[in-house]
Structures are given as C-alpha cells and as structure tokens.
Amino acid sequence: MQRKTRATLAAAIGAAAVCLGVACAGNGNAQTASSADTLPVYEVVRQGVTAEQAKKLADALKLPATSLVVTNGAISYVDADRFLEIPGLAVGDAALERRLLAARKKDEPEADMALRRIDFDALRKISALDPDKALQSTADLFTTAAVPLQTGKPEVGHTVLSAAYKNAKGVEETIDQRLDTHVAYHFSDKYGHPIVGPGATVALAYDAQGKVTQFQYAVRELKEGPRVKVLSESEARARIAQRLPKGTDVQLRLVYWSPAFESESATRAPNVILPYYAYTTTREIKDARGETTRARSREQRIPATDDPRYVPSARLQVRGADSAEVQASVQVSGGRTPYRYTWLGSNPSVATAVEASVRYTPMVRVAPVEGAADERVRANEIVGVQVIDANGVVAWASETIAVQATPFPHERDGDEHGHGHGGATYGCESPAEPDRFVQERVGWQQGMAHPGGGSEKFCWLGNSSWPGDYIKPKKAGSLPSKPWINGDADYSNWGVNTANIVFINGDAWPDGFTAMFPGAPASDYNNNVFLLRPGNPSGTVQIESNKYNINYDHSWGPSGSNDRLYWLLGLLCEALDKVDSSNLSLGNRWGPAFGGLHIFTGFASNAADSQGAFGKAFAEDILGVNNKPLTIVKAWFAASTATSEGTAAAMGPIGPGGVTDKDDFYIGKGSKGPTILPADIKGWWYLHQ
C-alpha cells in the first residue's frame, strides 16, 4: 500500500495559513490523553465559507460558481471527466466485441454497453504533478481567495493505477502509474488533539496538467469554550469493553469530532464540537492453514464526557413481548435539540421511522421449507434507537424481547433463466448492527432513496447477514443445508447476487471480512464469525470454534440464474491492501470469487465511521444528485476524500484485448462495460492511494 508523505513545502504552507479561533498546534505544550482531566468544548464561530468567499474560490479555480456545490458553507467540486481519468481506447476487434457482448444478460440493452480497453502506452506517459508544485498551487489558491486554512497541516500523495496482465502475446506485464497529485489537510487544537471528521476536511486533487479535478472545503472556525470533565482512560476502556468480547485489545486516542455539514436546516448545524475517545480493536485471526493475522476494526467513537449540557441520554420503552407486533418509544434528555431518531428493528419499514416512537411487525430470516407455508417463528428481537442531537452527538439504547416473528418472503422472480426483472436494484449487508455502524447503513439507504436509485432488494442486518450470502450453492436453484454457510439459494432477495449493487458495512482485514449467523449474539460479531478469502486453501467460514471449508470460486457476478450483481462495495478496512502478510496480491486473494463481477471497492487502510456521510455521499455521486453522475470508481474515491473515511481502493478484471469495467456508471446513468467471465480474465487492475 502506498502511503502519503509530507512534502518539503509543508512548512511554507503552514506559515501561510491563517489560524483563527483555535491556536496553531505544535507549541510544545500538548496535553496527553492520560493527563487531561478536563478539556475545552470548542464553540463554532463560523461554519465553512461565506457566499463571497465561495465566489472567490470559484474565480481562483477558474470555474463557474455554479459548478461548486455549496452546502451550508461547505464546498465540494468534482470534474466528472478529468478526475482520476485513465486513458482508454476502443477494443477494435469486431469478433472479440461480439464475444464480449454475448456474455451479457438478455435484459442488458446493448446501447448501454461500452467496450473500452486501457491504453497502457498512454498511461505510462502520464507525468503526475510535482508534489511541491501542488502544495504551492494550493497555498496560492487559498491566499488569492482569502480563505483561511486555520490549523491545517498539508500532506501530499498520489492515486496510483496498478495492473498485472497478459498482453496480446501472452506475456505478463505490470504497471504502477501515478494518475494525480492530491493535497489533504489535517487539523488539531493547541493541545495536540486531532480535529477529525467530514466537518474538518480540506482536500484538492490535481491532474497531470495541474488542473484541479476535486476540491473539498468543510471547516468550522472555532474558539475555545467551557471546559468539561473528561472520562479517565480506564473508565472509557471499561465502557467500550461492555460492547466487546473479553480479551479484545483496544487502542484509544482523544480527538475532537466534527460532523458533516447538514443540508436540511441551519438548526442542525453544530454550535459546539466535543472531545471523544476514538478507538479501534485488534484480534488474532487464524486461517485454514493455521497462519495468524492481526485484524483491526474500523475506528469508532464514544463521547469523552458525560456532561449533560452536551451529551444526550435516551430511555427506551418497548412493548410487544411474545406478540407479533412491537411498539417502542424513547425519551431523551440533555444535549441540544432538535433530535433526530434512527430506529433499529428486523422489519425494513423501521428504516423510514423518524419520530420518537415506532410500531412494526418483527421479521426473521429463516431457511424456507419447500412446499410449506411460512408461519410465525419465535425469535429474539433487538429493538434499538439512536438519537442524534443537533451537535451530532449520539445517544443509544436497546432492549431485547422474545417475539412471534414473520419470516421474510422467499420468492423467485424473472423467467426460468432469471431474466426480465427490470429496473435497478440495490442491497446491503450490515452484520455489526445493532451495536455498530448503523448510521453508515442509513446513509447508504438515504442516498439510494433519491430518484434513479431503484428498489431495495434486501438489507440484511445483524445475525441475518450470513457468509452464505456471498457463496453460490453447488447446484443452481437449490437450497443447501445450512445456507448461512454453504451458499445462498436463487431467491429474489436472498444473497448479494440478487441486486445490481451491494454495500457491505462491516470490518475486514486483507484476507477476510465479518459476517454473522442465525441466532448469533451481538458479542460474536468481529470475533467468532467471519468469511475468509477464497483459496485459503478454499474459502473458510468460521462460526464460533468451528471452521467450515467451502468453495466460493466464481460466486460473485451477474451470470447465473437470478444473478445480477455488477458492483460489490466494501466499507471494509484493509480488505483491498495491495498485498497481505504473505505477500499475496489482490488477484490471488479476491480474484477467484469473481464470476462476472465488474468492480469490488474497499479500503487500503483503516477507516473511520463517518456517521453516515460516506455512504450517502457515494450514493448521491453515482446518481448525480448534486451534479453530473460519477462512475462507480470515481464516486467511491470522491466520497472517501470528501468525508475523511479512509484510503479508498478498487479492483476489477482485465479481459481479452485489455477490456475493463473501470468506467462503469450506475444503471440508467451512463454506460457500463461487459461482463468478463472467469475464463476470459487476463489480469487485474487496482486503483489505490
């Protein structure tokens, strides 16, 4: 994995930055997490830029002001054509084009197919902008526009296209080519505590000609406010441990969390930002050969204070034990109104509930019995609510009750070949719920709810998110025993292949990712249940102390009955690291699972929970909600930068003649490449930072 490095002009730009409200860091008097009994709350003096500053920035960027998306003072811009552009050519072989078109599903209109190959000769000639020039251009830009960078320190890096493939003569070739030069700013207070989140983001990307292809400015001007008592590190560890299995290794750091700029109303703009304990966990994972890997979780946060002036608390009341209906309400105190509510329950309708109470029919995912009518099933229902106050501070409450749940329907759709379903579809897998990552899943659903997103096929949460969702059964259309291990059946809402695009919201490491199984307690997540990469030596599912060797080679893609998966999106830390601890490439690790899948996205680093901003931004970018639609890959990288989510990465197959799917648009938003079947894969492309 290529890491970003500080450039030599960092000091020069730091000197040019204007430090407002929060004194610049680096004064040698930083307080550590262990010595700070109290810390200040920072009051928001101004959020983002003024209309006049936005106009000056547009002028400095030599762009029409209308090309910038301004949201309550935050500015974003992506050049849909030039951002991360990779040179391409037509395939230029009529016989090969006919063969590639023949692999498409019958319901894919030929007009939406783009047969393009990477122009490797042109790619090798790209000379990325010099880092010092990028830093100087950035300093000049903000100086000209009179926009402060506050306490920001710049870091410079590149986005790289790597590929390993066989050329037309069957000779193996490789390439690692820089596409752009990007500058990102990191912020901290005078005590040395990082200020992080989507609301503390300044980033630019330059193409080889020095043109800005992405711009993000979302910074709050702050001043030091009242001090609050900070939880001791030992107390913070004790609270975090309540959510984790015993013996989990926890790493802590004190940060200030700056949430995303809301678009709905100024009443939801934070007037303070608070100190938090950000934490990650690590554990040891053993593969089928007994080799050990240390896997790290996504970064999460808890408030570092209990001060009720700033931290809300929630009291939940639940009714419906042993019945077929759940009723719940929540009372909230503390923090700052207005509150926003996110309810959690087994019924998908709960996702749309926005009031302080909810009523729904609990549902359960069970393996269907052929020829038998679905009947209510006794199950444990976790009813939960997240309350987010106007400063972005979250209060969480949950209760588990026994209910009479209705099974999810198991209906096939389309004709006998799986064709004719019509319309774009999406899905999600979120095994960490209800304890973790709720807002990321909600953000994805909110983004895809815009016109053009299509219909949601499924959203499997908690112990309804199974390893078998990623595995084809040995016999198409069959229901194997233990489908949560041995593979999904060909039902219209069963596994990941049944939607066009699927968002995985969990934890990962270079050789595997998290899942759950029916009835698993929340404590099993990220500890006792996971799916290892294919070829390890075959794919391995671990459930508690049992390891199940399965083969999910060629499982992901649109080529089977009722299968229509083109894009698998992994909000998965480190899953797309360039190599694993055994120096295995991505093609060796994840390539065997491709069965026509176009693109697999993920991260080549740890990631931080962005409170839903990342999933929402990505969905809106592929749909073109605020501007021209972006390709799947460009939207993934743009959203990652805009929300400070992590180090984005993406991979996909290279087919005969060098054809790829790297330029795929979402359905109805532009063309997509051909379905490259396993026998036609000649290599792999990999985009990373």
Residue 133 falls within a domain, yes or no? no
Annotate 212-223 with three-state secondary structure: EEEEEEEEEEEE
Please report the pLDDT score of residue 630 as a whole number. Answer: 97
Q: For residue range 576-628, what is the model confidence (pLDDT) as tens digits? A: 999 988 899 999 999 999 999 999 999 998 888 888 999 999 999 999 999 99
Residues of the domain holding 347: 306-409
Residue 380 falls within a domain, yes or no? yes
- Distance between CA atoms of residues 304 and 236, nearest Å: 7
Residue 178 falls within a domain, yes or no? no
Residue 395 falls within a domain, yes or no? yes
Q: For residue range 48-71, what is the model confidence (pLDDT) as tens digits? A: 998 899 999 999 999 988 899 998
Q: For residue range 493-506, what is the model confidence (pLDDT) as tens digits? A: 789 999 999 999 99
Residue 205 falls within a domain, yes or no? no
The total of other beta-carbon atoms located within 10 Å of residue 37's CB is 10
- Distance between CA atoms of residues 481 and 473, nearest Å: 10
Higher-scoring residue by pLDDT: 14, 458 = 458
pLDDT higher than 70, residue 421: no
| Contact assessment for residue 498 and residue 470, using Cβ atoms and an 8 Å cutoff | no
Residue 456 token pair? 């949601």
Averaged over 304-331, what is the pLDDT?
Answer: 96
- β-sheet bridge partners, residue 177: 161
Helix axes 131-145, 51-60, angle to 10 degrees: 140
Coil vs helix vs strand at 174: strand
CA distance to 122, 353, 565, 603, per residue, from 171 (Å): 19, 57, 31, 30
DSSP states of 353-367: --SSEEEE--EE---
Higher-scoring residue by pLDDT: 118, 18 = 118
Q: For residue range 510-564, what is the model confidence (pLDDT) as tens digits? A: 999 999 999 888 888 888 888 988 877 678 898 888 889 888 999 999 988 778 9
Q: For residue range 88-98, what is the model confidence (pLDDT) as tens digits? A: 999 888 888 88
Distance of CA 351 to the CA centre of its chain: 19
- Distance between CA atoms of residues 133 and 226, nearest Å: 41
Residue 217 falls within a domain, yes or no? no
Confidence of residue 650 (pLDDT cuts 50, 70, 90): very high
- β-sheet bridge partners, residue 292: 286
- Distance between CA atoms of residues 613 and 643, nearest Å: 6
Q: For residue range 241-281, what is the model confidence (pLDDT) as tens digits? A: 887 777 788 999 999 999 998 765 556 789 999 999 999 98
Higher-scoring residue by pLDDT: 168, 518 = 518
- β-sheet bridge partners, residue 378: 404
Please report the pLDDT score of residue 547 as a whole number. Answer: 87
CA distance to 53, 57, 130, 382, per residue, from 144 (Å): 10, 8, 21, 54
User: What are the start-end ranges of the E strands in 28-110?
Assistant: 38-47, 69-71, 74-78, 88-90
Find the CATH number of the domain harbouring 400: 2.60.40.10
Residue 479 falls within a domain, yes or no? no
Task: Name the amino acid, one letter, at 591.
Answer: G
Averaged over 642-664, what is the pLDDT?
Answer: 94
Confidence of residue 137 (pLDDT cuts 50, 70, 90): very high
Confidence of residue 473 (pLDDT cuts 50, 70, 90): confident
- Distance between CA atoms of residues 653 and 679, nearest Å: 11
| Contact assessment for residue 596 and residue 557, using Cβ atoms and an 8 Å cutoff | yes
CA distance to 343, 433, 484, per residue, from 378 (Å): 22, 20, 19
Dihedral angle sign, alpha carbons of residues 186, 190, 191, 197 = negative
Averaged over 419-434, what is the pLDDT?
Answer: 82
Mean pLDDT of the chain: 87
Coil vs helix vs strand at 659: strand
Averaged over 412-435, what is the pLDDT?
Answer: 72
pLDDT higher than 90, residue 410: no
- Distance between CA atoms of residues 258 and 220, nearest Å: 8
- β-sheet bridge partners, residue 286: 292
Q: pLDDT over 70 for what percent of the chain?
A: 89
Residue 345 falls within a domain, yes or no? yes
Confidence of residue 82 (pLDDT cuts 50, 70, 90): very high
- Distance between CA atoms of residues 105 and 99, nearest Å: 13
| Contact assessment for residue 609 and residue 650, using Cβ atoms and an 8 Å cutoff | no
Please report the pLDDT score of residue 522 as a whole number. Answer: 85
CB burial string 575-608: b at 16+ within 10 A, e below: bbbbebeeebbbbbbbbbbbbbbbbbbbbbbebb
Count of domains observed in the chain: 1
Please report the pLDDT score of residue 578 as a whole number. Answer: 94
Residue 687, phi then psi, degrees to nearest 5 = -110, 130
- Distance between CA atoms of residues 130 and 180, nearest Å: 10
- Distance between CA atoms of residues 408 and 473, nearest Å: 20
